[in-house]
Amino acid sequence: MHVTVRLFAGLRERAGRSQLELENVTRVQDVWPQLDLGAEPPGLLYAVNREYVERDHELADGDEVALIPPVSGGSFRLVAGALDVAAVLREVEDPEAGAVASFVGTVRRHSRGRDVEHLDYEAYEEMAEPMLSRLGDELTERHGLCAVAIHHRLGRVEIGEASVVIAVSAPHRSAALDACREAIETLKTTIPLWKKEVYAGGEEWIGRGS
């Protein structure tokens, strides 16, 4: 079994090359351990022959496997796959924190009197990432926070799935709670992210935010 593995962005820099060949891998989940790059990063996605696949996808001889890191790095990420709530909480752990506040926005089945089938999220990625980072800096300064993390989905999100996860840590609970609320309200009104509601019989873009 021979497959070609392609690496992008931070993974490419980490490996020191953009492409390599692997032998004797039968499933997508076998690829990462063969790369010898340490712990697998949270939010990593896999595509086989330019189509997203799950980790248990079976490989065929000659397949091309692309490793897709989150669109942005650090604590402010635009992610084209499922969000890991526990990973976001870990990013704000701090020995000086006396409180951690979090917000998880999920896709609901009914919206404005209509039955929603799923949502689609789109972002002006090159602009949204630095804006999220600046928002984190502003919240940290204004509320005296220890850390902030914001992960937001891109693409199709199903009913019940998380579309955004925000976590904030601070020495005191009032600051953490206030900053978490301010983070989601600011994100909804200023960050260039759009959602499309797809419902029975039609669809509609809802503007900026989650």
Domain locations in the chain? 2-68, 76-208
Q: Among the residues of 17-68, which ranges form H helices? A: 31-35
Residues contacting residue 35 through CB under 8 Å, at least 6 positions apart: 5, 15, 20
Q: Do 108 and 116 form a contact (C-beta atoms < 8 A)?
A: yes
Which tokens sit at 148?
A: 């902030």
pLDDT above 80 (res 9)? no
Q: Which residue has the tokens 């595509």?
A: 47
Lowest mean pLDDT among 37-51, 54-68, 142-156: 37-51
pLDDT band at residue 189 using 50, 70 and 90 as cut-offs:
confident
What average pLDDT does the segment 104-114 reach?
91
Which SS3 state, helix, strand or coil, does residue 158 take?
strand
Edge to edge, what strands does the sheet with 76-79 contain? 76-79, 147-153, 162-170, 99-106
What pLDDT, on the 0 to 100 scale, is given for residue 53? Answer: 87
CATH classification (class only), 2-68: alpha beta
Helix axes 173-190, 125-143, angle to 10 degrees: 150
At residue 28, what is the residue type? V
| pLDDT of the residue at 37 | 87
- State in words which class domain 76-208 has: alpha beta
- pLDDT, one tens digit per residue, over 18-30 is 899 999 899 999 9
pLDDT at residue 72 is higher than 50: no
In the chain, pLDDT over 90 holds for what percent of residues? 60
Is the Cβ–Cβ distance between 127 and 157 less than 8 Å?
no
Please state the separation of Cα 179 from the chain's center in Å.
20
| Per-residue pLDDT, 8 | 81
The per-residue pLDDT for range 162-185, each reduced to its tens digit, is 999 999 999 999 999 999 999 999
Q: Which residues contact 55 (CB under 8 A, 6 or more apart)?
A: 27, 28, 29, 46
In sequence order, what DSSP letters do the residues of 65-113 get, joined into one string?
EEEE--SS-TTEEEESS---HHHHHHHT--TT-SEEEEEEEE--SEETT
Give the mean model confidence (pLDDT) for residues 64-89. 82
Phi, psi of 86 (to 5 degrees): -60, -35
